[in-house]
Amino acid sequence: MTLIKKALTTSIALATASAMAATAQANMSDNEVRIGYLADMSGTYRDLAGPGGLTAMEMAIEDFGGSVNDAPIVVFSADDRNSADVGANTVRGWVDQENVDMVGGLVASSVTIAVTKVIEESNGLALVSGSAASSITNEHCTPNHIHWVYDTYPLANGTAKAVVEQGGDTWFMLTADYAFGHALEGDVTKVVEENGGEIVGGVRHPFPTSDFSSYILQAQSSGAKIVGLANAGADTVNAITTASQFGVTQSGQQLAGLLIFLNDVHAMGLESTQNLLLTTGWYWDMDEQSREWAERYYERMERMPTMVQAGIYSSTMHYLKAVEEAGTDDPETVRAQMAEMPIEDFFARNGSIREDGRMIHDMYLAQVKTPEESTGEWDLYEILSTIPAEEAYRPLSESNCDLVQN
């Protein structure tokens, strides 16, 4: 080939590549992929998601290369202050004024339900990683959001079932009085009763709450073997701390933390939490893959990640891969592409997205180690068993989601 022909061939190839890149970029709204991160950045749920979740999202974007098909990835972030109105108004502003393509994070279930309504109205896309209410992909499902990390159904099936099987057959429920707490209480009640147990009493507390004295006294007077904590974050920490001060476990009752995060156990210490059973979607020390990512996260945050923070990375990375594969950030196209792609990464095993928007994956029954068993500051859990993806989540045959063809 002559030098002239070589130069011509190279020029054509470069021109073709440039044209393809320009076309791909043109399929991105505003020639950018715009992502919003919405979470509690300063309150009750700060440590389980918060700034650490934003860091996890940024890690995913960096690992992906910072752009999709030459379209830069831009991130907006805000504190929802655990207010449904603040969350909904923030996202409405992002969609209307900033043309945000996808909203991630999303922790308090009341905020998430309000936000996903806004997302549906605007035909956007939301990836829910922090919320627990199973209703988010049941009666509150939409074709515009995906629920990623966990929900109340596997928490109940994992922890409550294990506790009843061990003889904890009478329960008193201490419940956060909003969507998440109600959903968890309902799912736990169903599991306890189906396995031969009984709910003998309960009380609902405001969200958030700092003084649990009266609620713990009611739990003690109920005579129940198990005090089920259908709350999360600082509420769970305060409830367990108060129960310890009132001698609940010393008097023969057992606490069942139905949504316990790594940061909760770390904050309370192993003396207070040892032998506590819990269900988790992920643990930093599960295997080599998990440890490798967690150690990179630790270098930035100086603490190990929760399952929510790991899930934010996983959902963001899966989204970016789908945008790249689809060649567009159009929400409907991207969601369909995400559902076609299996999810197998350091966070999720046997992961897939169902028609109701629930991302199902293996869950794990864990037990908090004793101080003697722990070999380091963050060596907190022992994984007892795996709950397979197909068994962990509410079966579609029981779904009330309009998207499900029963």
pLDDT of 91 reads 98
pLDDT of 274 reads 86
pLDDT of 252 reads 87
Q: What's the CA gap between 213 and 248, in Å, rounded? A: 12
Q: Which residues contact 253 (CB under 8 A, 6 or more apart)?
A: 219, 220, 224, 225, 226, 227
Single-letter residue type at 26:
A
Is the preceding omega at residue 208 within 30 degrees of 0, hence cis?
A: yes
pLDDT of 275 reads 85
User: Token pair of 269, please?
Assistant: 């210490």
pLDDT of 5 reads 44
Instruction: Give per-10-residue mean pLDDT for the chain (406 aa).
Output: 45 43 60 97 94 98 97 98 97 97 96 98 97 95 98 91 93 94 94 96 95 97 95 91 88 89 94 88 97 98 98 98 97 97 97 98 94 97 93 94 88
pLDDT of 226 reads 94
Location of structure tokens 């109920």 = 222
Residues, the chain, total? 406
pLDDT of 6 reads 44
User: Token pair of 215, please?
Assistant: 């609620």
Q: Which residues contact 122 (CB under 8 A, 6 or more apart)?
A: 92, 95, 96
Q: What's the CA gap between 171 and 3, in Å, rounded? A: 83
- Candidates 205, 278, 268; CA nearest to 237 is 268
Q: What's the CA gap between 216 and 248, in Å, rounded? A: 8
- Candidates 151, 139, 142, 146; CA nearest to 118 is 142
Q: What's the CA gap between 281 and 290, in Å, rounded? A: 12
pLDDT of 295 reads 98
One DSSP character per residue, 266-297 reads HHH-HHHHTT-EEEES--TTSSHHHHHHHHHH
Asked if 117 contacts 151 with a C-beta cutoff of 8 angstroms, the reply is: no
Asked if 169 contacts 199 with a C-beta cutoff of 8 angstroms, the reply is: no
CB burial of 120-139 (b: ≥16 within 10 Å; e: otherwise) equals bebebbbbbbbbbbbbbbbe
Which residue segments constitute the domains of the chain, with CATH numbers given? 31-150+287-357 (3.40.50.2300), 153-280+363-388 (3.40.50.2300)
pLDDT of 406 reads 62
